[in-house]
Structure 1
Amino acid sequence: MRPTVHDIAAAAGVSLATVDRVLNQRPGVRLVTREKVEEAIRQIGYIRDVAAANLAKGRVYPLVFIVPTGDNSFMHGLRSEVHHATLRAGMERTDIRIVEVPAFDVSALVAALDGLQGQDVAGVALVATDAPEVRAAVDRLVSERIPVVTLVSDLTDSTRHHYAGIDNIAAGRTAARLLGRFLGGREGDLTVLAGSMLVRDHRERLQGFSAVMAEEFPKLRLLPVLEGRDDPERTRSLVSKALSENKDIIGIYSLGAGNRGLIAALKAVRPERELTVVVHELTQHTRTALVDGTIDAVLNQDAGHEVRSAIRVMKATADGQAVIADQERIRLDIFLKDNLP
């Protein structure tokens, strides 16, 4: 049978109340008695069910999600998933707060992170902008024993506890293989569209994409990256200008957001201009463009899975419990018009 608190009390020769104080690290127990109880715990192999204990005590986990504002359909979807999580708060014993910051604004993100110091917070999840100041702010929170999870875009050089997102290098490699195969050995130029190279997920996708293109599709030449800052009008203008100035462009890889602007630019040159296009994130706009043939493939990550994973990880880390790696792995989905959900 699994050892119980009664077994600890008997082995240590103390009361159940004393065992409870030691397990919950409450004052009122002499050092010699505390050491006796801890030795009894080790000897009988007692393992505490932290989740059950927290449930019995009615513990609520105050969690904070820091998400970027702006005209980014995927981030709107992510924010919606966090909102849905707040509706499950009673069942999951969470108290979730959303903090919004301007997209790619390092100073605003640092201020939001630093503003959480000293507050009653059981965990923080953020869409990270990869900058030294942000890494330092995350490290400051972790040093205060606050669990930190990065969403969508990681901070690998920080002390954050977990990353809830896809393997972005693999995503970029997948996009390159799809685009290269779709183009079937043709020769020409490729335009790559990013939101900002300040975020690690965009840089890693470009890294994976460039590597496969160089290794396996040498006839396809990569043009300098266009940074649309996730703004549809800016993106439309950049893509339209690139297409008008270069008739050798035969393919486009959109590795970030701003796809509404991209789609508008593509529709303006169709049907006279035939282009092969791979984008990220299945939204209302990319779904419609996939169905009508404006784009050819969508690589998607499940924002709901990422939010649920972040919540599980923050709660487990706050309790000092292990994370189940397989449960928290975020998959990459590939959608064509034929397999849309």
Structure 2
Amino acid sequence: MVKATIEDVAEEAGVSVATVDRVLNGRAAVRPQTAERVERAIRRLNYQPDRLAARLARAREYRFCFILPEGANAFMLALGDAVQEESLRMVREKVVIDLRYTDVFDAQKLSATLDSIGPVYDGVAVVALDHPRVREAINALSERGVSVVTLVSDVPSSKRIHYVGIDNSAAGRTAATLMGRYLSGRKGKVGLVAGSLSLRDHIERQFGFEQVMAHDFPNLTILPVREGRDDRDKVKAVADQILADNPDLIGLYNVGAGSGGIAAALEHAGRARDVVFITHELTEDTRRALIDGTIDIIINQDAGHEVRSAIRVLMSKADKLPIVEQMERIRIDIYLRDNIP
């Protein structure tokens, strides 16, 4: 089948090519009856605009900004690497991508970073803290005409246009089912470590985990969640304390990052083989601990896919085209030592 052109749409609708272009891009007012004829013609012909050609014909560049957490979180560093890689690729499509780092655990600092985004940007992708200040900063950007995508951690009550990341409640439920199955009827305590309970992804994982554990595995006692701010040393100190206070600990679930600290604590306590340890994100540290047997399961999300998805969503918004939801669904990967890539 020959691909329909904009000229075919114009002929089918009985209008000029310029009118079709105005309908597609919303550049100028078109009478509702005319717009309806054009849209019917587009549907009948299954017309797909050549987005790349349209971008290259633009008189100016699109400019996007990614805001990521500062610090040594290996997954977030991988996100940063993916942003830099994609920024080089997108230059030929007249898209400029900038990268900023800030303390996303601090609502004031993160909101100040968002407030500093100027009108030069068409869109922003941000790893977000679910806090009123951050929500209002996102809303202010939206009102200034800057599209916002939340990345990895969401602020659903804000005016962001899309969330790019895994279903974190499902990830937590998955971790709970795997933990319960691995412990196979044993009785004891299971500890939880989170980066921050102000990060929605961590809250949702905790909620999903506790929900399944309480319903399906009443033989296991869930300890109160402890926060480590995704810092390896702080997470190690938290894990050391959990192990010291709970000799009957048989499971650990790390909701966030800093898993190398938990692995070190387990190994130091001589308990790396009798405590089931489930964590998130395949990094150099977690890969090594998975192969060694200190980590039993890693629940992963693909950093590169998330960055590319955020860019596609921002491009769709800038081009006034619909998002292809199937392409933007981020899957949950489960890695054992036996299937590590």
TM-score, L = length of structure 2: 0.89
The offset of 1:174, in angstroms, is 0.3
Which residue is 1:116 aligned to? 117
SS at match of 2:57: helix
Q: How far, CA to CA, are the matches of 2:90 and 2:122 in structure 1?
A: 14
The offset of 1:103, in angstroms, is 3.5
Which residue is 1:217 aligned to? 217
CA deviations 1:257-297 (Å, max 9, x no partner) are 01121111111012587211100000000000000111100
SS at match of 1:57: coil
Q: Structure 2: which amino acid aligns with 1:259?
A: S
Q: How far, CA to CA, are the matches of 2:277 and 2:335 in structure 1?
A: 13
The offset of 1:53, in angstroms, is 2.7
Which residue is 1:180 aligned to? 180
Matches of residues 149-164 of structure 1 in structure 2 within 5 Å? Answer: 149-164=149-164
Which residue is 1:316 aligned to? 316
Q: Structure 2: which amino acid aligns with 1:53?
A: A
Q: Structure 2: which amino acid aligns with 1:66?
A: I
Q: How far, CA to CA, are the matches of 2:172 and 2:284 in structure 1?
A: 22
Identity of aligned residues (%): 46
Which residue is 1:64 aligned to? 65
Which residue is 2:258 aligned to? 258
Q: How far, CA to CA, are the matches of 1:173 and 1:227 in structure 2?
A: 20
Q: Structure 1: which amino acid aligns with 2:105?
A: F
The offset of 1:50, in angstroms, is 7.0
Q: How has the CA–CA distance of structure 1 residues 339 and 24 changed in structure 2, closer, same or farther, with 3 Å as cutoff?
A: closer
Which residue is 1:75 aligned to? 76
Which residue is 2:98 aligned to? 97
Matches of residues 221-300 of structure 1 in structure 2 within 5 Å? Answer: 221-270=221-270, 274-300=274-300
Q: Which has the larger radius of gyration?
A: 1
Could you tell me whether the CA contact under 8 Å between 2:9 and 2:38 is conserved in 1?
no
Q: How far, CA to CA, are the matches of 2:272 and 2:25 in structure 1?
A: 71
Consecutive unaligned residues in structure 2, runs of 5 or more: 43-47
Could you tell me whether the CA contact under 8 Å between 1:124 and 1:148 is conserved in 2?
yes
Q: How far, CA to CA, are the matches of 2:232 and 2:24 in structure 1?
A: 55
Q: How far, CA to CA, are the matches of 2:176 and 2:269 in structure 1?
A: 23
Could you tell me whether the CA contact under 8 Å between 1:172 and 1:204 is conserved in 2?
yes
Matches of residues 14-25 of structure 1 in structure 2 within 5 Å? Answer: none
Q: Structure 1: which amino acid aligns with 2:89?
A: R
Could you tell me whether the CA contact under 8 Å between 1:69 and 1:101 is conserved in 2?
yes
Q: Structure 1: which amino acid aligns with 2:295?
A: I
Which residue is 1:31 aligned to? none
Q: How far, CA to CA, are the matches of 2:163 and 2:222 in structure 1?
A: 30
The offset of 1:195, in angstroms, is 0.4
Q: How far, CA to CA, are the matches of 2:142 and 2:332 in structure 1?
A: 29
Could you tell me whether the CA contact under 8 Å between 1:3 and 1:44 is conserved in 2?
no
Greater Cα offset, 268-277 or 287-296? 268-277
Tell whether 2:14 aligns with 1:4. no
Q: How far, CA to CA, are the matches of 2:167 and 2:19 in structure 1?
A: 48
Q: Structure 2: which amino acid aligns with 1:4?
A: E
The offset of 1:193, in angstroms, is 0.6
Consecutive unaligned residues in structure 1, runs of 5 or more: 28-33
Q: How far, CA to CA, are the matches of 2:35 and 2:330 in structure 1?
A: 37
Q: How far, CA to CA, are the matches of 1:85 and 1:281 in structure 2?
A: 21
Greater Cα offset, 136-145 or 272-281? 272-281
Q: How far, CA to CA, are the matches of 1:69 and 1:287 in structure 2?
A: 22
Q: How far, CA to CA, are the matches of 1:213 and 1:266 in structure 2?
A: 22
Q: Structure 1: which amino acid aligns with 2:72?
A: D
Q: How has the CA–CA distance of structure 1 residues 221 and 93 changed in structure 2, closer, same or farther, with 3 Å as cutoff?
A: same
Q: How far, CA to CA, are the matches of 2:277 and 2:6 in structure 1?
A: 60
Could you tell me whether the CA contact under 8 Å between 2:104 and 2:127 is conserved in 1?
no
Could you tell me whether the CA contact under 8 Å between 1:11 and 1:40 is conserved in 2?
no
Could you tell me whether the CA contact under 8 Å between 1:70 and 1:103 is conserved in 2?
no
Could you tell me whether the CA contact under 8 Å between 2:252 and 2:275 is conserved in 1?
yes
Q: How far, CA to CA, are the matches of 1:313 and 1:289 in structure 2?
A: 35
Which residue is 2:45 aligned to? none
SS at match of 1:166: coil
The offset of 1:77, in angstroms, is 0.8
Q: Structure 1: which amino acid aligns with 2:113?
A: A
Q: How far, CA to CA, are the matches of 1:279 and 1:239 in structure 2?
A: 13
The offset of 1:331, in angstroms, is 0.2
CA deviations 1:308-332 (Å, max 9, x no partner) are 0000000101122110111000000
The offset of 1:94, in angstroms, is 1.4
The offset of 1:89, in angstroms, is 2.2
The offset of 1:248, in angstroms, is 1.1
Q: RMSD between aligned alpha carbons?
A: 2.6
Q: How far, CA to CA, are the matches of 2:67 and 2:56 in structure 1?
A: 27
Q: How has the CA–CA distance of structure 1 residues 17 and 265 changed in structure 2, closer, same or farther, with 3 Å as cutoff?
A: closer
